[in-house]
Amino acid sequence: DTGVSQDPRHKITKRGQNVTFRCDPISEHNRLYWYRQTLGQGPEFLTYFQNEAQLEKSRLLSDRFSAERPKGSFSTLEIQRTEQGDSAMYLCASSPLAGGAGELFFGEGSRLTVL
């Protein structure tokens, strides 16, 4: 399967713990995006990378959130000191760098539940 893969698919943690999600994009895609989605809502932008450079980060993203894409391939999203409000689906998407409107290819998401 050459699609976007995310791991883990589900994570249950206690408040205050740290969690890390991994995303493996489609191999030839330069851009990688992280979104957060709560039930019944659209995806909320968190951050995106072009190769290893983090080009944009949402102002809504607190200092507890950090993302990396060290070699321009896979990416990790870490949430420190989790809070119940962090419970959501975390979606990763990749896109080829193209001159026109690109397309986002999404993974199936990592669902986080903070108890």
DSSP secondary structure, the chain, as one string: --S-EEE-SEEEE-TT--EEEEEE--TT--EEEEEEE-TTS--EEEEEEETTEEEEE-TT--TTEEEE-TTSS-EEEEE-S--GGG-EEEEEEEE---SS----EE---EEEEE-
Q: Is 56 a residue that touches other proteins (CB under 8 A)?
A: yes
Which one of the spans 14-22, 48-56, 64-72, 74-82 is the region binding other proteins (CB under 8 A)? 48-56
Which one of the spans 14-22, 61-69, 74-82, 97-105 is the region binding other proteins (CB under 8 A)? 97-105
Which one of the spans 12-20, 66-74, 77-85, 96-104 is the region binding other proteins (CB under 8 A)? 96-104
Largest CA distance in the chain: 44
Over its C-alpha atoms, the chain yields an Rg (Å, rounded) of 14
Q: Is 91 a residue that touches other proteins (CB under 8 A)?
A: yes
Q: Output 3 or 16, the one with its CB closest to other proteins.
A: 3
Q: Is 35 a residue that touches other proteins (CB under 8 A)?
A: yes
- Binding residues for other proteins restricted to 4-23, rule: CB under 8 A: 4
Q: Which residues make up the interface to other proteins (CB under 8 A)? A: 4, 31, 33, 35, 40-45, 48, 55-56, 91, 93, 95, 100-104, 106-109
